[in-house]
Structure formats: C-alpha cells, structure tokens
C-alpha cells in the first residue's frame, strides 16, 4: 500500500498540470486514475471545477464536459477487464473494504490507532468538506492576475486538509509536492512549518516502521549488527509509564507533533485570509 502514494501524488500532479494547460480530456483521465488508485484525490474535485469556472466562465460547461468525458472514458478502460469477467464490484473494493475495516478489531497498538483513526476521520468529514467548499469558493471568486499561482496555493491546502487526522505519515506524500511549491515559490513564510511537517512525518514514519528500517540496513548494506537491532526492539517494548511502552509513547508524541504541523499550516492560511478580508473592508 505504501508504494501507491508516490504514484498517487504524481497522478494528481499530472491532472493539475493538464487542467492548467487546457488539456481537459487528459486531465479528466489522469484524475480518474488517481481516484481509482486511492480515493483521497476526489476531494480536490471542487477546487478543480472552480478553477475551470474561473479560467473561462463562458467556456466552463464545455471544459467541464471534456474533463468528465475523459474521466468516464478512462474509467471504462480501467473497468473493462472486470466488465468482461462480470466482476465490476471488485474494482471498487478499495472503498467497500476500507469501510468494512473500520469495525474490525485491532490486534496491536498501531492497529488501534488506525482503526480509531478512521472513526476520527469520519467525525472530521464535515470540517474537511467545509474547507474544500471554502477553498473552491475563493478560487471561483478570484479576480487577480496570477490565477495559476492562486490555484496551486489552494491545491496545497486542499490536499492537506484531507488529512486533518493522519493515521500514517505516508499519506502526506499526496499534498507534499504542492506544499513545496507553496513554500518555495510563492509564500516563504510556509517554509518553516513545512520543514516542521517533514521532520515530524519522518520521525513518525521511523517509529511506526519500528526495527524494519534497521533490518533493511543490516540485510542490504550491513551498516548495523543484528545484536543492535535486537537491543532496539527490546527498548521499544520496555515500559515507559504504566502499560505504555516506549514504542507507544514515541508514536503518540510523533503523531502529536505531526498533527500540530498540519494544523499550523492551515492556521497560517486562514489567518492571512481573515486579515486580508478585514483589510479590504476597512
């Protein structure tokens, strides 16, 4: 599953590039592949539609129709083998299996975080959709001279807002390219929060992977010894406080800092929006 997220980020980047370049059929097809890979990019559809509307309101219906046709053609191609075999429902297993997994019992601490996290994700959906609608509204009403720049900024925040709760940091590979564009090209004040996000996500990922990273360093490169790996594994299992092991404590701490980094970036944006609107009405 983890290997899908770099591909997912590239597909969403491709869809954004194609829609900015006016190749709506291909943009719809790329977006369809991204959504069929993982459902997360579907949240960006509101912002994409708003961009098409803002770019050329007179040709909006035509542009949107082209993107929809491209998406459905690609969907047909993806489902063609399943249609021939009569197993179309299997193609949507990434949705039905995910919903079913919410009620499954957890066998480990990481599973507990993940299964409980899905409940939190569902509770956060009204806030996620509210942010998506607001960003799309701001895009549709934008009347400045740098439409593409504004679109990329809002896309960074749109993709980040999907992960208000992040069960595993690998999910952040989806918004990371857009956040890098935002921080490096357009708004330098996002650079420090972005670095905080990257460091927190890296530490969290290393904690979740536990000793598996060390095992790879031992097997493929011989950089660490087996005795050292065993000692690290034993330290992870040692009790930190009451029934909390060192592994549990580090996971909670790393996840906390990662969540703070996500909300900090969103806070900076909405603070700027509030001050800008307040100044325009003064």
Overall size of the chain counted in residues: 282
What's the rounded mean pLDDT across residues 117-139?
89
Percent residues over pLDDT 70 in the chain? 82
Distance CA 157, CA 151 (A): 10
pLDDT tens-digit readout, 71-85: 999 998 988 887 787
| Top-confidence residue, 42 or 282 | 42
Buried b (16+ CB within 10 A) or exposed e, 59-78: eeeebbebbeebbeebbeeb
Q: Which of 19-28, 77-86, 198-207 is predicted with the least confidence, judged by mean pLDDT?
A: 77-86
Q: pLDDT category, 120, cuts 50, 70, 90?
A: confident
**Local structure of 202: helix, strand or coil:** helix
**Local structure of 144: helix, strand or coil:** coil
Which residues does residue 245 pair with via DSSP β-bridges, in sequence order? 239
Q: For residue 170, is pLDDT > 70?
A: yes
What's the rounded mean pLDDT across residues 222-249?
74
Q: pLDDT category, 94, cuts 50, 70, 90?
A: low
Mean pLDDT of the chain: 83
What is the pLDDT, as a whole number, of residue 180?
A: 93
Distance CA 276, CA 280 (A): 6
Q: For residue 39, is pLDDT > 90?
A: no
Distance CA 32, CA 91 (A): 13
pTM of the entire structure? 0.81
Distance CA 70, CA 91 (A): 19
| Top-confidence residue, 67 or 224 | 67
For residue 163, which of 266, 262, 74 has the smallest C-alpha distance?
Answer: 262
Q: For residue 105, is pLDDT > 50?
A: no
Residue 201: both structure tokens together: 């996500």
Q: pLDDT category, 111, cuts 50, 70, 90?
A: low
What is the pLDDT, as a whole number, of residue 165?
A: 85
What's the rounded mean pLDDT across residues 191-212?
86
Asked whether the beta carbons of 122 and 167 are under 8 A apart, the reply is no
């Amino acid at each position: 599953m983890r290997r899908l997220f770099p591909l997912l980020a590239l597909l969403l980047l491709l869809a954004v590039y194609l829609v900015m370049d006016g190749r709506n059929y291909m943009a719809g097809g790329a977006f369809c592949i991204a959504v069929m890979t993982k459902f997360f990019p579907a949240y960006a559809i509101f912002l994409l539609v708003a961009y098409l509307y803002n770019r050329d309101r007179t040709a909006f219906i035509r542009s949107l129709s082209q993107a929809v046709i491209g998406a459905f053609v690609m969907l047909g191609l993806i489902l063609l083998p399943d249609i021939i075999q009569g197993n179309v429902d299997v193609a949507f297993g990434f949705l039905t299996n995910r919903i079913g997994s919410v009620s499954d019992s957890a066998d480990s601490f990481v599973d507990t975080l993940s299964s409980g996290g899905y409940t939190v994700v569902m509770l956060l959906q009204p806030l996620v959709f509210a942010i998506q609608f607001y960003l799309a509204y701001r895009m549709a009403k934008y009347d400045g001279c740098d439409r593409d720049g504004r679109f990329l900024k809002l896309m960074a925040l749109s993709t980040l807002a999907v992960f208000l709760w992040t069960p595993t940091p690998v999910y952040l590979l989806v918004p990371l390219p857009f956040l890098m564009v935002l921080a490096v090209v357009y708004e330098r004040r996002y650079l420090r929060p972005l670095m905080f996000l990257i460091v927190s996500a890296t530490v969290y990922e290393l904690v979740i992977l536990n000793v598996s990273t060390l095992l790879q360093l031992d097997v493929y490169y011989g950089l660490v010894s087996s005795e050292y790996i065993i000692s690290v594994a034993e330290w992870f299992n040692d009790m930190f406080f009451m029934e909390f092991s060192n592994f549990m404590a580090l996971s909670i701490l790393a996840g906390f800092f990662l969540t703070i980094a996500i909300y900090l970036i969103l806070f900076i944006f909405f603070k700027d929006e509030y001050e800008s609107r307040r100044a325009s009405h003064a």
